[in-house]
A and B are shown apart, each in its own frame.
Chain A
Amino acid sequence: MLFNSLGFAIFLPIVFLLYWFVAKRNLKLQNILLLVSSYYFYACWDYRFLFLLVFSTLLDYYTGLKMQDAKSEPLKKFWFWLSISVNLGFLGVFKYYNFFAESLAASLSTIGFEANFWTLKVILPVGISFYTFHGLSYVIDIYKGRIKPERNFIDYSVFVSFFPLLVAGPIERATHLLPQIQQKRVFIKANAIDGLRQILWGLFKKIVIADNCAEYANMVFNNSGEYSGSTHIVAAIFFAFQIYGDFSGYSDIALGTARLFGIDLLRNFAYPYFSRDIAEFWRRWHISLSTWFRDYLYIPLGGSKGGNWMRVRNTFIIFLVSGFWHGANWTFIAWGFLNALFIMPSIVFGTNRNNLETVAQGKTFASIREIGNILLTFAMSTFAWIFFRSKDMASAFHFIGEIFSTSVFSKPQNIRNEIVWLMVGFVIIEWLGREQKYALERFGMNWPRPFRWAFYYLILFLVFEYTGVDQQFIYFQF
């Protein structure tokens, strides 16, 4: 069930009404309703993988309790490693087994050994990387003594499976989400309206921006070689808009939906394309994953305590792992490697925390220098996206090769002007709202209601008018 589908448009109001009217006074009933509707939501993708989700939930819930009750450190360790290895084992089997088997076979064939490994013909359970990371953070936090295990199984299951975040995040932390699940929720009209506004903006990002950019990007990426160099550049830029619109749009819908139920989820995006350097970009892009890697990988590896060499090593490790988390393909690893490379100067020279505040804070326009830095950062991230989008390394290099051809100076082909204008409008609204949690949060709030509603109707109109070819949310595959 996609957020931008008719099914979800029916599902959400039903759950909302049951939640606030039928289960209104009973927290336990509200949580059971959230759990049942989340499982139904997940089963709509593929009911067979629901068992995997339930098993993973049970495992982490049980091992969490066992760690807490363990009489000795070795026993505590045993339960900890059991949970970690089973969680990563599932991820390894479903997501990475074929990659390793095929890569090993390819490596052996280069030295003359013909190996034909058995490969799995299974589809990747949607959201596995997300709910596995949920579970891992919970288990690690208990092991480290940061939190106590949750004894109520329903509450814990809602924490793992809450439908707005189940298939593509944000990757929540027990310290943030569990207390909200345990507490009685009160309906606050302003929050609910804000949630609807965020959903509307998320739909605009996904349907108008991402899906329409996807048509162009797919056309060129899938048939690279048939188009000019300049068209390749435009396609790479369109993909950068696509992936931002797609994933941040999904996150906006998830956050907005959660607010309708009185729950605040972690922010996942903070206008990353207005970043002035790559370090800032990574503080603003997929924040819940970046902070996850920071807390559960970078810091345990020593973080930046061991001097420059340790910082360089650990930075490379987290970017490579982050790339690999996205998918079992060398292209994702290359994407992670490139980002590590781009961030390296700021790590080595200690300038990675230079741009902590929002660009041109309190001003309408940025300075020329800031604009230059923003464009340079955007160009670097777009270049790295080419690897992310390409189906294999050869295609990525071929795509880059096509850019650097003589036709780079020709007029880009097949561009729909209205899409470009929509992108320009989108950038302007995002820029104006860059100090808010999402661009529409305060936009037009001082206007009289008829004007404000007219503006929302305009966005709705654009959502329906520019509904392109339905594209799956990119991050569902991870």
Chain B
Amino acid sequence: MKDFLFKFTLFLLIPFSVLTAAVLWIPATPKAKSSMLFEQLKKDSLLKNVKSPRIVMIGGSNLSMSLNSQSIKDSLHLNPVNMGLHAAIGLVFMLDHAEPYIRKGDIVLVVPEYAQLYGDFGYGEKELLLTIFDVKSGKFSDLGWRQIKNLLPFFPKYAFTKFKPSEYKKRFRLLKVQTTFNEYGDWGKRFDSVKNTTTYDALEGGLNKNILAKMKDFEQAIAQKGAKMIVSFPAYQEASFNNSVPMIKDIEDAYRNNGFTVIGNPEKYKFKNDLMYDTPYHLNAKGVTIRTKMLIQDLKKEAHLKPVN
């Protein structure tokens, strides 16, 4: 028995030690450095430095890929800070990360992807690991136990990347880090084409009340600073929407039952395939224009925002 345990422990300990060392000491690979996740640093800088009056938008890529902040600025005369980057960073991290930099008078528009509220996705996945260990935006020690639990399965996969030759290819090493986001944090390029958009299956895992509680805490924390939180719905591909109608209704009801200031409704923000770009949350140029117009209208009518002089 002792021999068995010794050998089994040794068998596990060898890769565990190597991988832990890799995570802690090997810097981001050239391929990782070419990831748009490194744009988080620029977004952090925007959040710290953009002057008031401002509208801070928090969510995943439904914000960065599917919104035109310039139009929001032109219509509402608020300085936009689009924090949207990748849904898999997780809503919990996004809120925790933004909270210290929210100021008095800020309008904070929170637009989570629906999956953030269902199951454990809102605690973050591999992209959160990359954000912390490669991008070094945020600290591992600041994560909650639910986030850590969610991240654990991704550790080996992440650690393996440090040893994959494909991560160090010449084309990545020669790649200059070019900013792909504009001065507001929007994805800089708009796409006229329609790519082959996949369809998401029905949301799974049940409504996550802890994430809703996190949103509530965030709302109260920023209210104490004199900021206001508004919640809205992401642009979502119609076919994916139809696969999750009851779950999305649950989310909408939960927002309203929690007393959030909610603008628009999910039905309004569903988009047909000809307005989508590549994923069910990413719009092409025409879709972005339509979605932005609708959002501005909702901000004016339902959140009673008026252009700031």
Once bound together, how far apart are the Cα atoms of A460 and B12, in whole Å? 10
- A 184-242 contacts with B by CB, 8 A: 187, 189, 192-193, 196, 218-219, 222-223, 226
Measured between beta carbons, the chain A residues less than 8 angstroms from B243 are: 222
Whether A187 contacts B8 in the complex (CB less than 8 A), given A464-B160, A465-B160, comes out as no
CB of A390 within 8 Å of the partner chain: no
Interface string of A277-305 (1 = CB under 8 A from B): 00000000000000000000000000000
Judge whether B210 is part of the interface by a CB distance below 8 angstroms: no
Q: Are the C-beta atoms of B201 and A187 separated by less than 8 Å?
A: no
CB of B121 to closest CB in A, whole Å: 11
In the bound complex, do residue B149 and residue A6 qualify as a contact, i.e. CB atoms below 8 Å apart?
A: yes
25 contacts between A and B (CB under 8 A): A6-B153, A20-B1, A189-B1, A192-B4, A193-B4, A196-B8, A218-B201, A219-B199, A222-B199, A222-B201, A223-B199, A226-B199, A414-B196, A414-B198, A453-B11, A456-B11, A460-B15, A461-B160, A464-B153, A464-B157, A464-B160, A465-B157, A465-B160, A467-B153, A467-B157
- What's the minimum C-beta distance from B116 to chain A, rounded to whole angstroms? 16
When the two chains form their complex, are residues B8 and A223 in contact, meaning their CB atoms are under 8 A apart?
Answer: no
> Which of B4, B15, B196, B201 contacts A189, CB < 8 Å?
B4
Kindly report which residue of chain B lies nearest to residue A413, judged by CB atoms: B196
Cβ-defined partner of A187 (8 Å) among B1, B11, B15: B1
Chain B residues contacting A413 (CB-CB under 8 Å) are 196
A189 touches B3 (CB 8 A): yes
Q: Provide the residues of chain A in CB contact with B198, threshold 8 Å.
A: 219, 414
- Residue B239 lies at the interface, judged by CB distance under 8 Å to chain A: yes
A interface footprint on B239-271 (CB within 8 Å = 1, 0 otherwise): 100010000000000000000000000000000
Please tell me if the beta carbons of B152 and A6 are within 8 angstroms of each other in the complex: yes
Cβ–Cβ < 8 Å partners of B188 in chain A: none
In the complex the two chains form, is B239's CB within 8 Å of A223's CB? yes
How far is it, in angstroms, between the C-alpha of A218 and the C-alpha of B153 when the chains are bound?
23
Indicate with 1 or 0, residue by residue over A352-381, a CB within 8 angstroms of chain B CB atoms.
000000000000000000000000000000
Residues of B within 8 A of A453 (CB): 11
CB distance from A185 to the nearest CB of B (A): 12
Instruction: Report A436-478 residues with CB < 8 Å from chain B CB.
Output: 453, 456-457, 460-461, 464-465, 467
A253-B201 Cα distance, complex, nearest whole Å: 28
Residues of A in contact (CB 8 Å), total: 22
Number of interface residues of B (CB under 8 A): 18
Proximity bits, A404-436, B CB within 8 Å = 1, else 0: 000000000110000000000000000000000
Question: In the complex, A465 Cα to B153 Cα: how many Å?
Answer: 10
- Which residues from 234 to 254 on chain A have a C-beta closer than 8 Å to any C-beta of chain B? none
B131-153, CB < 8 A from A = 149, 152-153
Residues of B within 8 A of A (CB): 1, 3-4, 8, 11, 15, 149, 152-153, 156-157, 160, 196, 198-199, 201, 239, 243
Of A192, A414, A457, A465, which contacts B15 at CB under 8 A? A457
Q: A193-B4, A222-B243, A457-B15 are in contact. Are A464 and B201 (CB under 8 A)?
A: no
A457 to B11, CA, bound (A): 9
Question: Which residues of A are interface residues toward B (Cβ below 8 A)?
Answer: 6, 20, 187, 189, 192-193, 196, 218-219, 222-223, 226, 413-414, 453, 456-457, 460-461, 464-465, 467
Which of A219, A222, A464 meets B156, CB within 8 Å?
A464
From A222, which residue of chain B is reached at the shortest CB distance? B201
Chain B residues lying within 8 Å of A464, measured Cβ to Cβ, are 153, 156-157, 160
Residues of B within 8 A of A456 (CB): 11
Measured CA separation A157–B257 after assembly (Å): 45
- With the chains together, A226 CA to B153 CA distance in Å? 33
Interface core residue of B4, B149, B157 (most chain A CB under 10 Å):
B4
Give the chain B neighbours of A461 by CB distance below 8 A: 160
Instruction: Give the residues in chain A near B152, CB-CB below 8 Å.
Output: 6
Report B18 CB to chain A, min CB distance, Å. 10
A259 to chain B, nearest CB (A): 12
- Residues in B neighbouring A187, C-beta threshold 8 A: 1, 4
Instruction: Give the shortest distance, in Å, between A3 (CB) and chain B (any CB).
Output: 14
**Nearest CB on B from A88, distance (A):** 31
B290–chain A nearest beta-carbon distance, Å: 23
What 3 A-B pairs come out closest when comparing CB atoms?
Answer: A464-B156, A189-B4, A464-B157
Give the shortest distance, in Å, between B26 (CB) and chain A (any CB).
16
Q: In the complex, what distance in Å separates the CA atom of A237 from the CA atom of B196? A: 23
Complex interface: chain A residues within 8 A of B4 (CB)? 187, 189, 192-193
Enumerate chain B residues within 8 angstroms of A193, measured Cβ to Cβ: 4
Using CB atoms, name the residue of chain B closest to A187.
Answer: B1
Q: Give A352 Cβ to nearest chain B Cβ, in Å.
A: 40
Q: Which residue on chain A has the smallest CB distance to residue B205?
A: A470
| B149: A residues at CB distance < 8 A | 6
How far is B137's CA from A358's CA once the two chains are assembled, in angstroms? 57
A223: chain B residues within 8 A (beta carbon) = 199, 239
* Nearest CB on A from B205, distance (A): 10
Chain B residue numbers with a CB within 8 Å of A457 are 15
Q: Closest Cβ of chain B: how far from A122's Cβ, in Å?
A: 16
Find chain A residues with CB under 8 A from B201 CB: 218, 222
Nearest B-chain residue to A453, judged by Cβ: B11
- Alpha-carbon gap, A215 to B291, bound state (A): 30
Which residues from chain A contact B1 at a C-beta distance below 8 Å?
A: 20, 187, 189
Cα separation A6 to B150 with both chains bound (whole Å): 9
Q: Nearest chain A CB to B186's CB is how many angstroms away? A: 28
Q: From residue A242, how far is it (CB to closest CB) to chain B in Å?
A: 15
Bound Cα distance A193, B160 (Å): 25
Q: Which residues of B contact A20 (CB under 8 A)?
A: 1
A2 to B199, CA, bound (A): 26
Tell me the nearest residue of chain A to B163, going by C-beta.
A461
In the bound complex, what is the Cα–Cα distance between A413 and B157 (angstroms)?
27
- Closest CB of chain B to A199's CB: distance in Å? 12
Which residues of chain A are within 8 angstroms of B157 by Cβ–Cβ distance?
464-465, 467
